Structure 1
Amino acid sequence: MKFLILFTLITGLFVNLASAQVRDTVIKSTDSVKTQVIKPVRKDTTTKVMSRQDSMKAAYVNPGKVAGRKAVFRSMIIPGWGQLYNMQILDDGYGTRAGKSQTLQKVYTGAKIAAIYAGFTVLTMSYIESTKQYKLFLKELQYRDANNGAPDPNGPFGSRYSTSGITNGKDTYRRNRQIVLGSYLLVYAANVIDAYVAARLHFFNIDDELSFKVSPSVITSNSLYGFNGTPALKLSLTF
């Protein structure tokens, strides 16, 4: 009887130890596994694709350069058109002069347009007159060459001028025509340059806060023989 009770106790002890070992093993295996939390994905979420343009920094566009190119293009086609474009910029209120009185600037721009066409008009009249006089002197010279130096009795000069004087007059008016043609190019170039400069200056900072300061300074330089200092003036601009 005692042996049976002892056997029962030993058997129950082993059963309890075995169950405890199984339970401990299950707990440890569960703890050793690292769980990873996965966030749910919303169905309405759209993935934004990064393009090359989005990844690059937007390039800076200088409005002064753009306006200058447009003014030059217009002035090259029709003289004075670039100046009219600059007046349009004033009306649109672009640039650093926006909000300020533009009356004097418009009058000045209009005067430049009038000066451009006045210059072309004067040059045209000069070219016509030089061509007319050149043909008269040339005709007189051709007549004298064909008649042994005798002046044309029906010509406008008669015997007032010698043959050398007629030759000099012909060369002078021919040279005047060439000068007029060169002056055409100068006025045309001045028209283009003025339109470009005015368009660029319209976007420059010319407000009341712009100032400059001149102060004495020294320009230093190192040479083979030692230190050299040259007196100079230092110009400082404040925007």
Structure 2
Amino acid sequence: MQKTKLLILVAAFTFFLVNLASAQVKDTVLKPADTSKIKLSKSLDTAAKKPMTRKDSMKAKYVNPGKVAGRKAVFRSMIIPGWGQLYNMQLLNDGYGTRAGKSQFFQKLYTGGKIAAIYGGVTVLTMSYIESSKQYNLALTELQYRDSHSDQPDPNGPFGSRYSTSGITQRKDTYRRNKQIVLFSYGLVYFANIVDAYVAARLHFFNIDDNLSFKVMPSMINTNSMYGFNATPALKVSLTF
């Protein structure tokens, strides 16, 4: 009886081992070998061994000088208005491309004029804001006095009885609106200063020379008629610079 049980256990264990071995054989046969890692390592080794050419080196080291100059000009103009224009003037001194070695006198004069325009505009706006604030405060003081003295004018004020209360109120509102316009104009001048510095810095690195040509040739313009092709003769002008 014990021998029979032992034989049954041995047979069951043998059957289990046979099934396990056959399953591993099937998995080995059906599952393809993972060669991606091998190929990747080979490609990395090949790339590492491949010498870098001069063209690849130039691609890796290339930096767009116009973008760099534009960012620098914007950063300077954001800190101090006009600083970006001074930076662009320094670019004119350095020269670039066909303009290298040339005086660029008129371009420098134009850039200096933009700096003067920026600070001239800020000065005018500041003077206007100071004057508007002064007149606004005078009108407000007069209205406060009349409100507390039964609509009687201030004897020491600049208005007297020549101006009515409604007129002084309108005057106060006008100067308050002028102050708001001046503040908005400050923002416009600041924004225009940044945009001008960026555009001038980018355009400095465009190859602009005196070689300009144009070509005129006959052409046809389709008017897109719903009843068929309807063309109109025209002249085509192409500019090359």
Task: Settle same-fold status: TM greater than 0.5.
Answer: yes
1:230, 1:205 → 2: CA distance? 37
Cα shift at 1:212: 3.3
**Contact map agreement 1:80 1:191 (CA 8 A) in 2:** yes
1:99, 1:66 → 2: CA distance? 22
- 1:226 is aligned to 228
Cα shift at 1:69: 2.0
Q: 1:230 to 1:189 in 2, by over 3 A?
A: farther
Instruction: Give the 3-state SS of the residue equivalent to 2:99 in structure 1.
Output: coil
Which stretch shows the higher mean deviation, 185-194 or 161-170? Answer: 185-194
- 2:23 is aligned to none
- 2:151 is aligned to 149
1:71, 1:233 → 2: CA distance? 42
Kindly indicate which of the two structures has a greater share of residues assigned to helix. Answer: 2
2:216, 2:176 → 1: CA distance? 52
- 1:49 is aligned to 49
Q: 1:157 to 1:222 in 2, by over 3 A?
A: closer
- The number of equivalent residue pairs is 193
Gapped regions of structure 2 (runs ≥ 5): 1-46
1:74, 1:192 → 2: CA distance? 9
1:187 pairs with 2:189: yes
2:158, 2:69 → 1: CA distance? 55
1:175 pairs with 2:185: no
Among the aligned pairs, what percent are the same residue?
77
Cα shift at 1:189: 1.3
Which stretch shows the higher mean deviation, 166-175 or 141-150? Answer: 141-150
1:61, 1:232 → 2: CA distance? 44
Structure index of larger Rg? 1
One-letter amino acid of the structure 2 residue matched with residue 174 of structure 1: R
Q: How does 1:8-19 map to 2 (within 5 A)?
A: none
The normalised TM-score by structure 1 is 0.71
Question: Could you say what the CA RMSD is over the residues aligned between the two structures, in angstroms?
Answer: 2.8
Q: Residue deviations 1:191-216, cap 9 Å, x none?
A: 11111121122122321113334555
1:76, 1:183 → 2: CA distance? 16
One-letter amino acid of the structure 1 residue matched with residue 49 of structure 2: V
**Contact map agreement 1:76 1:192 (CA 8 A) in 2:** yes
The normalised TM-score by structure 2 is 0.71
